[in-house]
Amino acid sequence: MARYQIIDAATGRKCNVVEWDGSSPYAPPDGQRIEPDDGTPLRGAPVPSTVLPAISDRQFAQALADLGVIARAEALAFVKRGEVPTALQAAIDAIPDPDDRFAAEMQVSGATTFERAHPSTLALAHALGWSDAQMDELWRSGAGL
């Protein structure tokens, strides 16, 4: 049995490492691919997508509300009191790796700026099932606010 890595096709980020004989039938979930493990840590640096500016927590929340991902009342509670919107908390809770989940929750609940290529941003995007194009749209929308 050899070690293989499961890669998120949208982010290029290593999601998991598995032992596989390489010949038994196996098809990774949609949006993922399998390839020989390159030995990088599971929490390795993400592959950056388009370089987009950091956005403030207000821009992040307002863009999410404008796109209909969260309610306006949730956006206001997020920036006023740090209350994590329901959709984001559900996505955070769905992150399988406990360290990645903790990092994402820390970022969402405490960051004053959000970076598009940050590992926690990528983990959150993956948990939401978002493509790079959807994340780029959110960032461009937020940067324009």
- Rounded to whole angstroms, the Cα distance separating 40 from 20 reads 18
pLDDT of residue 54: 92
pLDDT(122) > 80: yes
Spatial contact of 97 and 127, defined as CB atoms under 8 Å apart: no
pLDDT of residue 81: 92
Question: Domain locations in the chain?
Answer: 2-36, 55-143
pLDDT of residue 65: 95
Structure tokens at 13: 């980020």
Query: pTM for this structure?
Result: 0.65
Spatial contact of 37 and 17, defined as CB atoms under 8 Å apart: yes
pLDDT band at 46 (very low <50, low <70, confident <90, very high): very low
- The predicted-structure confidence for 58-98, as pLDDT tens digits, reads as follows 999 999 999 999 999 999 999 999 999 999 999 999 888 89
- The predicted-structure confidence for 8-41, as pLDDT tens digits, reads as follows 777 777 777 777 777 777 777 778 888 888 777 6
- Rounded to whole angstroms, the Cα distance separating 36 from 6 reads 9
